[in-house]
Copies of this chain bind each other. A is one copy, B any other.
Amino acid sequence: MLTTNPFDDDKLHEECGIFGIWGAEKAASFVALGLHALQHRGQEAAGITSFDGAHFHSHRAMGHVAGNFDRDDVIARLPGRTAIGHVRYSTTGETALRNVQPLFAELSDCGFAVAHNGNISNAMKLRRTLSRRGSIFQSTSDTEVIIHLVATSTQSTPLDRLIDALKQVEGAYSLLVLTEEGLIACRDPLGIRPLVMGKLGEATIFASETVAFDVIGATFIRDIEPGELVVVNDTGIRSFRPFEAAKPRPCIFEHVYFSRPDSVVDGTSVYEVRKNIGAELAREAPVEADIVVPVPDSGVPAALGFSQASGIPFELGIIRSHYVGRTFIQPSQEVRNLGVKLKHNANSALIAGKRVVLIDDSIVRGTTSLKIVQMMRDAGAREVHFRIASPPTKHSCFYGVDTPERAKLLAAQMSVEQMRDYINADSLAFISIDGLYRALGESRDSLQPQRCDACFTGEYPTTLTDAEESASGAALSLVASR
């Protein structure tokens, strides 16, 4: 069986994208468009919850936004001038649909819908405590812990109950919460995951990335700040900062791979940063070659940067198929390396006889890199040099990014030279961590880095309660008997 996945298996994946709007007719139709533009952050399930002034309405589905939320009848069942939505990477098993967000609960005195990008790193501990007191969990999602903390809080208003709940959680969260009293957007004290605020006419909008504003013609206003809660309702917009101040640590990988190149993250063009990384890489690890070839599509901006800085021509040496599918029957042993050919094909007429610099954004397991190098050699490349637009990925992420366990991260197991040998390249180089910060226009503060770069450095900005308990013997699974 040969596999081609819509997402490249051999990448880290952002697990979620969120979008919310207050104050527009047919709010759900804007959310559908916004989620469509955020699917690179999670394309396997989507949901929208709207509030029409009296009732909450939800629709959640496995699959793409188009096909589920481009239908008149679905949008018509989501009436109201405010709505929030969520796309997610992956969820499996019988409880799959239950884990699709927004999660909604009818609390004793209010409805409460939440869409969450991030990961609560003490969710299992909190869940055990809540369960012992009689709370019944319906999903395996860490997000549900927040709802039960709100439901059992002794504070009086929904906002105070939410703050009470968030003070008990640790980890990464950008949240959109919809209640009868308004739409609440908030970002964890370190601002690990992104969240931006925009405006379209009178309506206020929140999204994971600015591309979701472009698709509906909305204007970017500002980032939600780390530790900030913004409450929007018909009386206006109010901002709260209930948490202790902390130095922000936004995720650096948003610039390397997660965000779309046409997004502006933390005030910086993603495309520009990626080109800078390519240029920096050309300076840090130059090579004599005939053509610069991106591994499509994510390697393209860095390859352009590398080409412009080095003067080596940029060429499309690998063609990517528009058509994807899960598995094809493998006809025979003769057909080797077919997985990558279904998705990628060498432009042999171009490659034959050339010295090639391949540019990719990262190496995770290394399986794709291995096949791509071989494909270049089969196409007649004289030399194959691999340049990577990020430092070696050596550590798992506990903040809402789908990472393989450490044992499967190539860079956690091998030196750069061993990796070069493994993927069979003539040379291999990664950008340095300092080079990466330079591409962002910063000089890395090695005591208190300006970003979360734990996947490269192992320097996690929060405690990791569940992971530590798990390492010391406690059960990790949220679902004991399912």
**Nearest-CB residue, chain B, relative to A149:** B134
Contact A217 B319 (CB under 8 A): no
Cβ–Cβ contact A335 & B216, under 8 A: yes
**A456 sits at the interface (CB 8 A):** no
User: Can you name the residue of chain B whose Cβ is closest to the Cβ of A269?
Assistant: B349
Of B138, B180, B271, B329, the residue contacting A29 (CB under 8 A) is B329
Copies in the complex: 4
Chain B residues contacting A283 (CB-CB under 8 Å) are none
Q: What is A's interface to B at a CB cutoff of 8 Å? A: 4, 6, 24-26, 29-30, 32-33, 36-37, 39-40, 43, 54-56, 58-59, 64-67, 69-70, 72, 75, 94, 105-108, 111, 128, 131-138, 147-148, 151-153, 180, 200-201, 211, 214-217, 260-262, 264, 269, 271-272, 297, 300-301, 304, 308, 313-316, 319, 321-332, 334-336, 338, 341-342, 345-350, 479-482
Contacts of A4 in B (CB 8 A): 66
On whether A214 and B346 interact (CB within 8 A), knowing A135-B151, A151-B135, A482-B55, the answer reads yes
Q: With A36-B323, A39-B323, A345-B215 in contact, do A271 and B350 touch (Cβ < 8 Å)?
A: yes
Q: Smallest Cβ distance from A58 to chain B, in angstroms?
A: 7
Interface residue from B269, B332, B341 paired with A26 (Cβ < 8 Å): B332
Q: In the bound complex, do residue B271 and residue A347 qualify as a contact, i.e. CB atoms below 8 Å apart?
A: yes
Measured between beta carbons, the chain B residues less than 8 angstroms from A347 are 261-262, 269, 271
| Cross-chain contact of A330 among B29, B40, B54, B330 (Cβ < 8 A) | B29
Are A43's CB and B345's CB within 8 A?
no
Chain B residues lying within 8 Å of A64, measured Cβ to Cβ, are: 323, 325
Known pairs A67-B325, A138-B138; A331 contacts B214 (CB<8 A): no
Query: Which residues of B sit under 8 angstroms from A214, Cβ to Cβ?
Result: 341, 345-346, 348
A6–B37 CA distance with the chains assembled, in angstroms: 16
Which among A128, A328, A480 has the greatest number of chain B C-beta atoms within 10 A?
Answer: A328
